[in-house]
A and B are shown apart, each in its own frame.
Chain A
Amino acid sequence: MAVDKNMPILIVDDYKTMLRIIRNLLNQLGFKNIEEATDGKAAIEKLEQKQYHLIISDWNMEPMTGLDLLKTVRADERWSKMPFIMITAETKTENVIVAKQAGVNNYIIKPFNAATLKSKISAVFGAF
């Protein structure tokens, strides 16, 4: 799968500062078509309205966590194949296992840098 720098990406985090960081780092990597949601529920509402090519989500959000969002996305046939990268401070083994079992495509731990973000997107879509 080749990387389309114009693909619509949905980033989800309840820290607006973090959304800003992810958006800026994605911009630096050349991605410009980025939309934001501040929790899982808001992300679902966005997904209902538009077909995204990638979701990048935080785990630790309320009331709907990133893991809940991932499970909801994977359970819906419209989005079940949509690439989903989790960016989180949850670094325990059980978290990685649960996320992988729930169908996450890649897992980035905070703090992260542009190179890590690039390598994880490349792992899903191919080098760019």
Chain B
Amino acid sequence: MSYQDASVADFMDKLEALHHERGGAVTPTEIRRLMSSSLGEDQQMDALTDSIRTIAGKVSTFKLELMSGDADAIADDKIPDASKELNAILESTESAANSIMDAAEKGQEEAMMLDDDTQQAAILEQVTAIFEASNFQDLTGQRITKVVNLLIEIDEIVSELLNTLRKNLDIEVSSIPEGEEDGDSDEDLLNGPQLNEDVPSQDDIDALFDSL
């Protein structure tokens, strides 16, 4: 690799790293600063030309993808289908939890009719464990609802993005669902269950509650 090629590669690496760090928001000033630190004047022009050529290629490819309908399939079918699948899981786990509790309640009734107190207590202890374990359905439901809502938001964003891009590219546009209004502060508190590694224990919550 020539010195010039190495400098250009260095510039591209730094640009890519900065692009990644900023989540895609790199300003012209930052690009100029990077170019000055990595390249000579001629190399800067070459690197800029290469970058513009790459961007133009990506825009062209994206334009073709937009026209091909692949993007529509994501917004119109794949995301809504994923939501339906998750809702089906929700319904089946709810049905399963209710069947489990039907059986537990019957077991409880049978246990209450036993004359042997020790045997009755032993069965009721197991029935209680079944009720406690049935908590899973509520948490599963809340987690799935959280993901479904996220998918709906993503669907709206993708549709809006497609609409905006197509307007700019003079491509025919399909209708777009309206975005939701921002929630109030109490609604912001509704986060649903956290993942296990993030969840404080009841003791943690008790300590916090008592400290307030």
Contacts and interface: CB of A to CB of B under 8 A. Distances in A.
A111 B131 contact: no
Nearest to A66: B190
B137 A97 contact: no
Contacts of A95: 189, 191
A17 B200 contact: no
Interface residues of A, number: 36
A66 B138 CA distance: 15
Interface string A23-58: 011001000000000000000000000000000000
B9 to A, nearest CB: 45
A114 B132 CA distance: 7
B4 interface: no
Given A91-B200, A95-B189, A98-B189, A60 B142 contact: yes
B186 A96 contact: no
Describe B's contact surface by its main secondary structure: helix
A116 B161 CA distance: 48
B62 interface: no
Interface string A70-113: 00000000000000000001111111111011000011111111
Nearest 6 A/B pairs, CB to CB: A111-B135, A89-B193, A113-B132, A18-B138, A100-B212, A24-B131
Interface of B: 94, 97-98, 101, 104-105, 108, 124, 127-128, 131-132, 134-139, 141-142, 186, 189-194, 199-202, 205, 208-209, 212
Interface of A: 13, 15, 17-18, 20-21, 24-25, 28, 59-60, 65, 67-68, 89-98, 100-101, 106-114, 116
Given A13-B138, A24-B101, A24-B105, 13 more contacts: A17-B138, A20-B98, A20-B101, A21-B135, A25-B132, A89-B138, A90-B191, A90-B192, A91-B194, A92-B194, A95-B191, A107-B205, A112-B202
